[in-house]
Structure 1
Amino acid sequence: MFRISAVVAAVALATVTATTPAWASTDRVVHFDLSHLQQPENITLEPDGSADLTFSPAAQVARVSPSGQVTILAQLPGRTGGIVRTPDGALYVNVNAGDQTGVYRIGRGGGAKLFAALPAGFVNGLALDGRTLYATDSSAGQVWRIPLNGGAPAIWAQGGPLAKVTGFGSNGIKVHAGAVWVSNTDNGTLLRIPVQRDGSAGAIQTRATGLPGIDDFTFDGRDVLAAINASSQLAVIHPDGSHTIALTATNGLSNPTSIAVRGKSVYVASAAYRTQNDPNLLITRF
């Protein structure tokens, strides 16, 4: 079950520079049912403003309508991770399920089918670049490249700055301006990996540090909006690598995992993995 409410958020921006968005004071929050493991791990948006979310512990994909109605689209065989939507309306989802681990496809008519099997590690973030998917393995410290035309998946980048320390290495992932960007949760870093002319990975570059517990993220112009899971914060990472905090637990964040932007609206999914209190989807404007 869920409820939708309007809350007034007094966003503390005392340390925010002029390049940080002026965040709105009124947010909408869709609250999920923790007792049914409705803890959102990742997000992608539909053209009508609906949000498609993976409920990781429940092994589900759900859709939240603009009015706040929650509909379960698919039940998967294991914990769900990253999710992307292709222009034809299909959803691709990372699933961790032993020998059934891999990327699953959910067609517009429903029904989930294994699209690309991957070795059992911990597949996490998922990004789309035209007809290619990129998936992170947080356990192995890898980025997989998966063609949508049915070609074989292959390890595209691995090791070094992508590796974990004790928990999660490569985690969130996006494709932006000719490069694959990846967060490393253990190291608190944001990484950039250029895509070479032949499609191979260039040298891994560290573009931001000092972000312990960083999860998934998205781009908003030249800035990056990043979910800081451990401290329940939304960080705005600037092109020079510095960052400021725009939202915190006082605004309703509860171990945020992922972010999406549509126009002036920012969607922030919180899974409450550590707090065990109020998993939700916060929708704010700037």
Structure 2
Amino acid sequence: MPLDRPAGVRRRATTLGLVGLLAALATAPAALAAPVPATVPAAPGTAAGTRLDDVRVLAHFDRAAGQVAESIAPEPGGSVVIGMISARQVVRVARNGALQVLATMPPPPGGGTTTPVVGAPDVTGVARSASGAVYFLYSSGRGGLTGIWRLRRSGGPRLVVPLPADTFPNALVIDGGRHRFLVTDSAGGRIWQASLSGGKASVWSADPALAPAGFFGANGMKIHDGAVWATNSDRGTIVRVPVTEDGGSGRAEVRATGLEGIDDFDFTGRGTEILAAINQGSELVRVGADGGHETLLDADDGMQGTTAVIVRGSRVYVTNGANLAGDDPTLMLARLQRR
């Protein structure tokens, strides 16, 4: 961006672009593109910390059909489940890149124009329980549709935890130790909780560090080291919220700053070292324990509106939504090398 452009102008332009794109994609017909294997150059090593190599495209998606890849839930054997924002889909990508649509959510009455922030219905976060059940989030601007849904072996998905119509549920995490779901609400700047058995949700944390500053607040989320960690997209921060002995939330602390447009993230297995997806900058960055960060992958490596990252052993899955840059949403796979 030009150095003389005010920061507020930049955020407003980006926000309006995303809203317009999501609204346009919501009206596109659903379709799937055949995966085309590809390889991109490996990221250079870093002097200290994690590096990535063997970076390649595992699957291509159809942006015109609304397949803006948003979130990732890994499965045994190397397949992953992905939420597709404007296609309102949950899909599975096999280890060989083959795609399977698991569910397509119907548009709400009125088309979902009352969906908070974006004005279009979206499937966002996905999660898989220890028993293999797959859950996902649907934001529709309508009560009775917005909330946590479960895929079923037969029949359509079932709503298990309704959320208020004015929420934008974004990231979904299963806290198995406390038998609960945790959900970030990007519109309200909150984290909700609900029993894995289903039923009514309640606000777990509404700490000011989670609040939006004009668009999206709390976004990505993970549980790590006795705390819930979340990103704040507007503020460009990673926030740590301690979990109290009774399962409640403590006071949030900001652990990293300067990450404007951050979306999802995951821990590398080296303490609190993080890999973070920067949607606005089309980057995958490494965030150290001290909050310092460096870019590992960028547009030259195939990043386009990077949305999510999941680390499983030495395998790193990255989704590119191509919502703010480019036209090729993808699932990428890289090998993690820890130093």
2:173 aligned partner: 127
Q: Paired residue for 1:60, among 89, 114, 134?
A: 89
Q: Show the 5 A alignment for 1:1-286.
A: 1-13=33-45, 16-19=46-49, 21-77=50-106, 78-97=121-140, 98-99=142-143, 100-109=145-154, 111-120=156-165, 121-130=167-176, 131-150=179-198, 152-221=200-269, 222=271, 223-286=273-336
Q: Deviations over 1:204-256 (max 9, x none)?
A: 01011010000011111121111000000001111111111111111111111
Q: Does the residue aligned with 2:76 lie in a helix, a strand or coil?
A: coil
More helix by share: 2
Contact 1:6/1:26 (<8 A) preserved: no
Q: What's the RMSD between the two structures over aligned residues?
A: 1.4
Deviation at 1:24, TM superposition (A): 1.0
Q: Deviations over 1:187-208 (max 9, x none)?
A: 0000000110011100101011
Letter in 2 for 1:272: A
Letter in 1 for 2:168: F
Q: Deviations over 1:14-45 (max 9, x none)?
A: xx3412x2321442331111221111111101
- Percent of matched pairs sharing the same residue: 39
Contact 2:160/2:199 (<8 A) preserved: no
Contact 1:214/1:230 (<8 A) preserved: yes
CA distance in 2, matches of 1:29, 1:150: 34
What is the TM-score of this pair, normalised by structure 2?
0.80
CA distance in 1, matches of 2:225, 2:197: 23
Contact 1:43/1:52 (<8 A) preserved: yes
Contact 2:162/2:199 (<8 A) preserved: no
CA gap of 1:134–1:25, structure 2 versus 1, over 3 A, is same
More divergent stretch after superposition (274-283 vs 184-193)? 274-283
Deviation at 1:10, TM superposition (A): 4.2
CA distance in 1, matches of 2:39, 2:242: 41
CA distance in 1, matches of 2:235, 2:223: 20
- How many residues were matched structurally? 283
Contact 2:262/2:278 (<8 A) preserved: yes
CA distance in 2, matches of 1:88, 1:191: 29
Q: Deviations over 1:103-144 (max 9, x none)?
A: 101134463111100112211111111021110110110000
CA distance in 1, matches of 2:152, 2:42: 41
Deviation at 1:152, TM superposition (A): 2.8
More strand by share: 1
Larger Rg: 2
CA distance in 1, matches of 2:55, 2:278: 21
Letter in 2 for 1:179: A
More divergent stretch after superposition (36-45 vs 103-112)? 103-112
Q: Does the residue aligned with 2:77 lie in a helix, a strand or coil?
A: coil
